Structure 1
Amino acid sequence: MQIQSESKRKHIQRFLTLKELSLPIFWFPLVRIMVEEVFSFTSELILIIDRTQWQNTNILMISVAWKKRALPIYWKILDHKGASNLIEQQAVIRPVLRLLKRYKIMITADREFHSIFLSHWLKKSHKNQVYFVLRQRKSTSIKQGKKYCQLSEFKVKFGTAKLLLNQKITKINKVGTYNLLVYKKQKDIDNYVS
């Protein structure tokens, strides 16, 4: 009996790994139909990138925002614990941007996706199609005059926001300038780069 159940399990595993059932081939046509039914081509789609730990499975996911919900579009199961890296993030974002190339896109993400290299890739590779808002860490450096300071040192009053245009963020060269919104809520300061 145990041999039969093990055999059935292996058959199911092989079935689920068929190329014909891959997400881009099987799932993307359904996503395209759903998006075209719900959003007009003049709509701006808000995409949310997030990583979640579900039991022992680490999942990097990109979803579309709709009526205060996040509808999953594409995901990748990571073979490690903890944060994703730039290559994994690009591997999840790239096929979705190709799928939704007819739309204007706004990508939002939390502090895990603060990388200036992700910002640079989005800005350089997807001009005029993709905008992004990536939450930054307090330790991120910003150039003020001729010297750098950390965002945690930036003076902002509670409950207020300050928009800084064309800021050099991080000391890394050749990654361009970005707009930075600094917002202080109660004890914490939230920082977003776009």
Structure 2
Amino acid sequence: MIIALDRTYWQENNILIASAIYQKRAFPIFGILLSKKGTSNLRKQQIVLRPVIKLSKAHQIVIAGDREFHSVDLAQWIGRQGVKFVLREKKDTNFRLRRRKFNSLSSVQTAPGQQEFFSKINITKKKGFCPFNLAVCWRRKYKNKQEKDPYYLLTNLRDLETAVKAYKQR
């Protein structure tokens, strides 16, 4: 089951919400009103995700989030809960392959229509984070529309196809 983590404005309310995805529809499970405008922080994200994870212990879930939820701290926390995740990262996020120097994700050489999967990468210069997997996907041109940049998906899923499929359901 895919759980989408999202934030939205409804009327004058800033809402952080977790929704179950079923047949291309999002069904809200749990959410909170944020007291400020703008993005949420790790503490608020944990408040929303804890009851959802607790309710879903009997099921295998994958938490999917867009670039607002690019936090390595969030990824580490979700992984410690025994839950799978796929979170879209920003292109200026630092990563390192096999003890090489850190580079931004935008330095990954790719082209439209290509996909790559990197296992056990370091995604931040901070110490204490376990290695993650990274899926890099750039959609091919479709109906004369071309994505400007590839997607960078931080995940603890084991392969490219599963990570991309989970994120697309978000």
Q: Normalising by the residue count of structure 1, what TM-score does the alignment of the two structures yield?
A: 0.74
Partner deviation per Cα, 1:38-96 (whole Å, 9 max, x = no partner): xxxxxxx1100000011221000000011110000001000000000000000000011
Instruction: Give the share of equivalent positions with the same residue, in percent.
Output: 40
Q: What stretches of structure 1 of length at least 5 have no aligned partner?
A: 1-44
Matches within 5 A, 1:114-133: 114-124=70-80, 126-127=81-82, 130-133=83-86
Q: What stretches of structure 2 of length at least 5 have no aligned partner?
A: 140-145, 156-170
**Residue of structure 2 equivalent to 1:164:** 118
Aligned length: 147
- Which runs of at least 4 in structure 1 moved beyond 2 Å after TM superposition? none
Q: Relative CO higher for 1 or 2, CA cutoff 8 Å, sep ≥ 6?
A: 2
Partner deviation per Cα, 1:73-127 (whole Å, 9 max, x = no partner): 0010000000000000000000111112111111101000000000011112x22
Letter in 2 for 1:75: G
Give, in whole Å, the separation in 2 of the partners of 1:143 and 1:97.
30
**Residue of structure 2 equivalent to 1:151:** 105
Partner deviation per Cα, 1:12-62 (whole Å, 9 max, x = no partner): xxxxxxxxxxxxxxxxxxxxxxxxxxxxxxxxx110000001122100000
Give, in whole Å, the separation in 2 of the partners of 1:139 and 1:146.
17
| Higher helix proportion | 1
* 2:150 matches 1:189: yes
2:89 aligns with one of 125, 133, 136: 136
Matches within 5 A, 1:48-63: 48-63=4-19
**Residue of structure 2 equivalent to 1:87:** 43
1:111 aligns with one of 64, 67, 82: 67
Give, in whole Å, the separation in 2 of the partners of 1:55 and 1:138.
31
Letter in 1 for 2:14: N
2:131 aligns with one of 155, 174, 177: 177
Highest CA radius of gyration, 1 or 2?
1
Give, in whole Å, the separation in 2 of the partners of 1:97 and 1:52.
21
2:55 aligns with one of 78, 81, 99: 99
Give, in whole Å, the separation in 2 of the partners of 1:146 and 1:178.
16
Give, in whole Å, the separation in 1 of the partners of 2:112 and 2:60.
33
Shift of 1:149: 0.4
Give, in whole Å, the separation in 2 of the partners of 1:80 and 1:47.
24
Q: Normalising by the residue count of structure 2, what TM-score does the alignment of the two structures yield?
A: 0.84
